[in-house]
Structure 1
Amino acid sequence: MPTLSPPAGCRTIALGKTVRGMCTGGLLGALNQVQEQSNGHIGQLWLGPFRPLVVSHPDHLDHILRRNSGNYTRGTALWKALRRLTGNGITGDGAPWRVSRDIIQSGLSARCLQEMGDPMLTAMTSAVEDLGRRAVRESSVDSLVEMQRIVHRVINPVFFGSRIPQMQCDRLGTAVSTALRGAMRRMAVPFVPLAVPLPGDRSFRRGRNTVFEILGPVIERARNRPCDGADLMTRMLNGTHPDGRPLSAEHIMYDVIALFFAGSETSAATLNWVWLLLGRHPEVAAEVGREADRVLAGGPPRREHVRRLTYTHMVISEVMRLYPLAWMLGRTAIGDDVIDGTPIPAGTTLALSPFLTHRLPQFWNRPLEFEPGRFTREAIRARHPLAYLPFGDGAHSCVGQAFFTQEATLVVATMMNRYDVTVLNDGPPRFTWTMNPCERVRLRLRPRG
């Protein structure tokens, strides 16, 4: 059961009818109010009968995600809304989650990424060249659409072994986005029963049906034609439970959807924010361009370039600080607990917010400003280890961190090395509670040299 009365010391915010996709309003606006009033202490949101505790202080996150993680499960109403799309494997808990995590983690290990490196980098180079050809013909391109196309090309060989034709991969991405938007509406009002229709339900069903229509035949064909390969789908097809049972088609289906969402939707959205913020900060963009010229020198991207693109990586890290795609993580207390003097009764829902953590002035000087210099090695070592957690933390932290870092860093560097990129949007960035810019980001690309 959710907490119905505020524990001692909590600040409460009544959200009322403000849960809408309005820019910087709705749920994110209410979280900002909690931040302002609680200053890092545990707060409480009043969403009708659903009243989760809001947690943002790194010490409190350390207690929940590390020191006493066994008392906090992902079985919250927030997660249940998403699991209609992603199932109970990699986004669940318990035995099914462990099986999924072990398989996926091994598939995204450094050794496996190195094995998949050539197909991934070839796909990336080809995708960036295709973007350049389109951009020459058009006065401007939609940043998010183009980043999705690039990301889909990159993850197809790594995730699916290139079993899905590229046009179908783009269609799959659109369907996942459509279903996700519908699911996110449910996540904002988890106290509303599924039997009660909401505006996003129809788009959710439409998107989910399309996802199943695309992936179902692919998985069925792959199950009937076993093969070896380093891609994640092959690893899941060959994966087993501890007792030797193979993973069911449904288990594989849901894990593939979850992987596709995590590997494409969030990657493309972060890259979209990168271009918007580089457009707002030309001095940072110029430094990224100089580094790309020095490291890539007009040639194709290679894996060994990643460790030399240090400033580009700092820029991407700062973008994820300001606009983390995993801006809220749901947990439920299994047993009674106390965090920093605040009682946490069993059954309490907690909303852990990296979005708020990344903006705490106790840990971030001028937290609303864009400053990549926060991510030098020295600055990282001096900071609380949980002041920054765009990939979550603890046992359920994102298994694709290394893959995303390589992908995003090389995409930005490759584009900056080949094109003069102009961001056409004016005005400061604003965002929705789905953590995307309110306005479409338009780019103009012109080949260099």
Structure 2
Amino acid sequence: MTRHVRVPLRAFEEASDRANGELVRLNMGPFRPYLVTHPDHVQHILKTNQPNYIRAGMFWDPLGPLLGQGILSDGAGWTASRSILQPMFTARYVDSLTQRMAQIVTELIDTTVAPGRPIDIAETISALVHPTIVRLFLGATISDSDIERLAPAYDTGVTSRSIRLLLPFVPQGFPMPGDSAFRQAIKTIDEVVYPRIRYAKARGAGANDLVSLLCQARSGEPDADRLIRDDMVAIHGAATETSVTALTWVWPVLAERPEIAAKVYEELERVVGPGPVTMAHLPELTYLRMFVDELIRLYPPGWILPRTVVQSDTVGDVRIPAGATVVLSPFLTQRLPAFWERPLEFDPERFAPENGRRRHRYAYFPFAAGPHSCLGPRLFLMEALLLIAGILCRYRPVLHADGPVVPRLASTLRPPAGLSMTLVPVRPT
């Protein structure tokens, strides 16, 4: 894998191509994890024998100071957080937020999107997603200035330690590029989050925003503020980072596939017209939903899911010792030719309702799977449909890129930094 030090994702792709679904051991110098791609093996690790594969080591340890010991951890901390948070992410609760989310997204598009000139795609999507999630879950009491501090801090938090993702054998105490920026990002996040906790506790029961609900659930627990902080940071970070990363890929995909873009535009003209998008439109945006499903098949935000083996186990025909690292990757599994026809072709039709029944349950897991599956896929889908439709019912994107857009290394699957586009109004103003 050393041949691809500058494009490490390509090294994983080549290893997966050679393995063709079989377990292989990667040569990363002193670190030699097992690459797992076959859906049967994914199911064994994430569901059948899930307690034996924990979130520790590669990926998790470098991000531990940011993510904390809550819903993105393992063991007792995860169990407690899951039991508290799961009722807050039911379909009924998420649906109750949708109309408010639609209003927020429309307002932000009105005030944030600058048509007629080049705009940074990631920055623009972040400026739409972060305030939406913060206002929905942290309530309306947080200031715009604090929201503006959170977005770049989260961005720095998940990108600044990218090099450590591939060098897990380097001790955490050994200084590496990005460590200082990572610590500053955590400091900024804590400076925003802890006052929200104190405010919610002082306000008392009655409010139903995420912070207040967490405070009520953790009342009287030792170290409650830190536990609340960890869940707030994890939920907000997962909700915003997943959405921003996935929705940044929308625009190069539309630019590179005009025949698919035409179908998206036709549906939006027919269903939404000039807008604004409302909750009532969403059930009719069937092709756009298929588009989003295919988007996160080819470009799943969480492209890598490492686990540490607790006790020796056999996966397929391979014996894996205790303490080893297994690396699962939705990015690779969702491109396996044995389970996906024309796997590198972007084809929303593969997610037409009649096609889903033929798919292996663990051939598609963009939000992980099993007990540790993400709480928020429905929330992501609602936000994705509202944001994409909200922009495209008013504008057409013109991408500024020289050649194909390829991912860059981070804890999530991000396009290159600085990718830009111009939004051209569909109708004269």
Instruction: State the TM bucket, normalised to the shorter chain.
Output: over 0.9
The alignment-based identity, stated in percent, is 38
Matches within 5 A, 1:281-430: 281-430=257-406
How many residue pairs get aligned? The number is: 425
383-392 or 226-235, larger mean C-alpha shift: 226-235
* In 2: Cα distance, 1:200 partner to 1:408 partner: 31
Query: What residue is the counterpart of 2:115 in the other structure?
Result: 135
Equivalent residue, structure 1, for 2:42: 61
The CA distance in 1 between the partners of 2:296 and 2:136, in whole Å, is 23
Q: Distance in 2 between matches of 1:73 and 1:277?
A: 35
Matched, 1:103 2:87: no
Aligned with residue 261 of structure 1, among 230, 237, 243: 237
Partner of 1:276: 252
Structure 2 Cα separation of the partners of residues 18 and 122 of structure 1 = 45
- Cα drift, residue 245 of structure 1: 3.0
The offset of 1:338, in angstroms, is 1.0
Map Cα deviations across residues 87-108 of structure 1 (whole Å, 9 max, x no partner).
0111111222122122222112
Corresponding residue to 1:447 among 420, 425, 429: 425
**AA of the residue aligned to 2:284:** R
Q: Which moved more, 1:95-104 or 1:148-157?
A: 95-104
- Specify the code of the residue in structure 2 equivalent to 1:421: P
Q: Deviations over 1:55-84 (max 9, x none)?
A: 010010111111221222223342121111
The answer on whether the counterparts of 2:218 and 2:228 sit within 8 Å (CA) in structure 1 is no
Contact 1:289 1:413 survives alignment (8 Å): no
SS at match of 1:338: strand
User: Which of these residues, 50, 62, 65, is aligned with residue 81 of structure 1?
Assistant: 62
Q: Distance in 2 between matches of 1:347 and 1:401?
A: 31
Secondary structure of the structure 2 residue equivalent to 1:238? helix
Q: Provide Cα deviations, 1:298-352, integer angstroms capped at 9, x if missing partner.
A: 3322223222211111111111111111111111222221111111122221111
Q: Kindly tell me: are residues 439 and 155 of structure 1, through their superposed partners in 2, closer, same or farther at Cα, counting changes over 3 Å?
A: closer
Which amino acid in structure 1 is aligned with residue 77 of structure 2?
P
* Cα deviations by residue, 1:246-282 (Å, 9 ceiling, x for unpaired): 7711111122111121111220111110111101111
In structure 2, what is the Cα distance between the partners aligned to 1:105 and 1:293?
A: 36
Residue of structure 2 equivalent to 1:115: 96
Q: In structure 1, list runs of 5 or more residues that go unmatched.
A: 1-14
**What's the RMSD between the two structures over aligned residues?**
1.8
Residues 230 and 286 of structure 1: CA distance in aligned 2, closer, same or farther (over 3 Å): farther
1:43 aligns with 2:21: no
Where in structure 2 are the equivalents of 1:167-246 lying within 5 Å? 167-240=145-218, 245=221
Q: Is the 8 A contact 1:276 1:441 kept in 2?
A: no
CA offsets 1:167-204 (integer angstroms, 9 cap, x no match): 32122010111122123322221110011111111111
| SS of aligned partner of 2:26 | strand
Structure 1 match to 2:73: 92
Query: Please, what TM-score do these two structures have when normalized by structure 2?
Result: 0.94
Q: Give the letter for the 2:78 counterpart.
A: W
Q: Deviations over 1:136-176 (max 9, x none)?
A: 5xx21111111111112211222211232223212201011
- How far the C-alpha of 1:29 sits from its partner, in A, is 2.2
Q: What is the alpha-carbon distance in structure 1 between the residues aligned to residue 207 and residue 256 of structure 2? A: 43
Distance in 2 of aligned mates of 1:446 and 1:227 = 47
List gaps (5 residues or longer) in structure 2.
none
Deviation at 1:421, TM superposition (A): 2.4
Q: Secondary structure at the match of 2:314?
A: strand
How far is 1:447 from its partner?
2.6
1:168 partner amino acid: D
- Aligned-residue offset at 1:17: 7.6
Letter of the 1:61 counterpart: V
State the AA in 2 paired with 1:215: V
Deviations 1:221-249 (A, max 9, x none): 222222423322221111138xx637711
Task: Answer with 221-230 or 209-218: which moved more.
Answer: 221-230
SS of equivalent residue, structure 1 residue 46:
coil
Aligned twin of 2:143? 165
Take 1:77 and 1:328, find their aligned partners in 2: how far apart are those partners? 10
Letter in 1 for 2:332: L
- The residue that corresponds to 1:4 in the other structure is none
Does 2:246 align with 1:251? no
